[in-house]
């Protein structure tokens, strides 16, 4: 039987033990009210390397628009389509960490865009005053509440950027967005009333890492050393 050196045995034992360590997961998230045309800052925890060896970073950023409402009124003498719109445009997204994913695409402000629409057939005017919006409740009127609209992106972060996420404390992601509601009409004399939706910004980071197991390594290494020493005495 081929002899194995003491140093090689210890190296093999440590390598096998480290490779068999299960991956642990650490997650942090943050939700902030995102006011229209103002900076919104997310705070997410960095990875403390004293916990173990980092093996993966996953990040998610999501914008949520709530409570949008659009009302349309047709003052024309003929029926026409009215289209309600809820739109969000992010003017900036800055971060204290790299948001480049493993596919080399980045999580950026374009991922937070919302452009949602709904078409309604409006009857000819019901006889309400022309030239202004009126909530008649008749067939020339329509209201749209689209509920919660979301946009965003997520993905595994490129390994070369992991150092940005290591340390204590937090890193920040800052977003500035503009919300609006509007309506367009297929003909003339269409009027609308809309509000500014409520915005919410959500962020999450998930770290996967391997925890050292010094007690297990020591027992395996000592067992191997004892076995080798016993063989050498023979």
Residue 94 CB partners (closer than 8 Å, separation 6+): 173, 174
pTM of this prediction exceeds 0.85? no
**Is 90 exceeded by the pLDDT of residue 187?**
yes
Sorting pLDDT into bands at 50, 70 and 90, what band is 227? very low
How far apart are the C-alpha atoms of 119 and 55, rounded to whole Å?
Answer: 48
Mean confidence (pLDDT) of the chain: 88
Q: Which pLDDT score, from 0 to 100, does residue 13 have?
A: 41
Q: Which pLDDT score, from 0 to 100, does residue 9 have?
A: 37
Beta bridge partners, 157, equal 101
**Is 80 exceeded by the pLDDT of residue 165?**
yes
**Is 50 exceeded by the pLDDT of residue 51?**
yes
Residue 165 CB partners (closer than 8 Å, separation 6+): 46, 47, 54, 57, 97, 157, 171, 205, 207
Q: Which two tokens stand for residue 71?
A: 């009302």
Model pLDDT for residues 25-41, shown as the tens digit of each residue: 999 999 999 999 999 99
How far apart are the C-alpha atoms of 83 and 182, rounded to whole Å?
Answer: 8
Q: Which pLDDT score, from 0 to 100, does residue 228 have?
A: 46
Instruction: Output phi, psi for 52, to 5 deg.
Output: 160, -165
Model pLDDT for residues 133-143, shown as the tens digit of each residue: 999 999 999 99
The residue among 234 and 97 whose pLDDT is bigger is: 97
Q: Which residue has the tokens 């919006």?
A: 133
């Amino acid at each position: 039987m081929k002899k194995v050196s003491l140093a090689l045995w210890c190296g093999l034992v440590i390598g096998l033990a480290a490779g068999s360590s299960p991956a642990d997961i650490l997650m942090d998230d943050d939700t902030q009210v995102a006011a229209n045309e103002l900076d919104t800052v997310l705070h997410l925890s960095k990875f403390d390397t004293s916990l173990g060896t980092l093996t993966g970073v996953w990040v998610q950023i999501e914008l949520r628009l709530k409570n949008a409402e659009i009302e349309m009124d047709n003052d024309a003498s003929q029926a026409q389509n009215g289209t309600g719109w809820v739109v969000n445009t992010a003017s900036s997204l800055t971060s204290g960490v790299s948001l480049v994913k493993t596919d080399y695409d980045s999580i950026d402000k374009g991922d937070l865009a919302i452009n949602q629409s709904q078409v309604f057939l409006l009857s000819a005017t019901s006889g309400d005053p022309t030239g202004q919006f009126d909530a008649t409740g008749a067939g020339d009127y329509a209201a749209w509440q689209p509920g919660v609209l979301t946009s965003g992106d997520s993905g595994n972060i490129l390994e070369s950027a992991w150092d940005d996420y290591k340390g204590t404390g937090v890193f920040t992601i800052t977003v500035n967005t503009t919300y609006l509601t509007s309506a367009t009409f297929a003909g003339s004399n269409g009027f609308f009333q809309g509000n500014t939706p409520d915005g919410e910004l959500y962020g999450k980071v998930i770290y996967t890492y391997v925890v050292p197991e010094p007690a297990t390594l020591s027992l395996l290494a000592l067992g191997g050393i004892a076995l080798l020493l016993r063989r050498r005495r023979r």
